[in-house]
């Protein structure tokens, strides 16, 4: 199989693809913003847009409630992590590392029952962690290094005894 580098932008109107379950456009030369209707595709379960040249924010409107994997890492995304990600009860992997995201980590993400892997390192995220991280899911990886988080580590991080990877360096943590 040969590899091809896609150049250009993601189509602006994805509503004509309602049956789409998987979108993988990773490791290309895609520019522009993430289409505002991407997470409105109700059958979408996996999104891989890592290692492109995407800019702008992550769309706030979310109806893809069966989403399992979101990987938007290694782009130039700005703005905040949508609060709606905290409603994705099937989400297992959230990978937003190596971007320019800012603001706080939505507390609802900490209560997701299937979240195993959260990698949000190398961003400009700040605030304190919800103490619920690790309490409601078998959290394996918690990588939040190189941000501006403050306060203590989540008190329930190891609650289920599944944590295998913890990286929190270069923050403003205390306690």
- pLDDT tens-digit profile of 61-103? 999 999 999 999 999 999 999 999 999 999 999 999 999 999 9
pLDDT tens-digit map of 29-46: 999 999 999 999 999 999
Average pLDDT, the chain: 93
**Dihedral Cα 96, 170, 112, 136, nearest 10 deg:** 150
pTM of the model: 0.93
**Dihedral Cα 115, 111, 139, 50, nearest 10 deg:** 40
Q: In this model, does residue 121 exceed pLDDT 70? A: yes
The pLDDT of residue 150 is: 98
Beta bridge partners of 8: 30
Nearest CA to 36 out of 12, 66, 52, 68 is that of 12
């Amino acid at each position: 199989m040969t590899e091809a580098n896609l150049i250009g932008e993601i189509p602006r109107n994805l509503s004509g693809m309602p049956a789409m379950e998987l979108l993988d456009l990773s490791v290309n030369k895609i520019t522009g913003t993430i289409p505002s209707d991407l997470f409105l595709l109700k059958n979408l379960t996996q999104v891989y847009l890592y290692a492109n040249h995407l800019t702008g924010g992550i769309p706030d409107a979310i109806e893809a409630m069966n989403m399992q994997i979101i990987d938007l890492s290694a782009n130039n995304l700005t703005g905040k992590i949508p609060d709606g990600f905290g409603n994705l009860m099937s989400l297992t992997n959230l990978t937003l590392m190596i971007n320019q995201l800012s603001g706080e980590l939505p507390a609802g993400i900490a209560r997701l029952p299937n979240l195993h892997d959260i990698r949000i390192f190398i961003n400009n995220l700040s605030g304190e962690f919800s103490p619920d991280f690790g309490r409601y899911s078998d959290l394996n990886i918690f990588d939040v290094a190189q941000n501006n988080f403050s306060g203590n580590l989540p008190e329930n991080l190891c609650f289920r005894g599944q944590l295998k990877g913890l990286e929190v360096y270069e923050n403003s943590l205390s306690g």
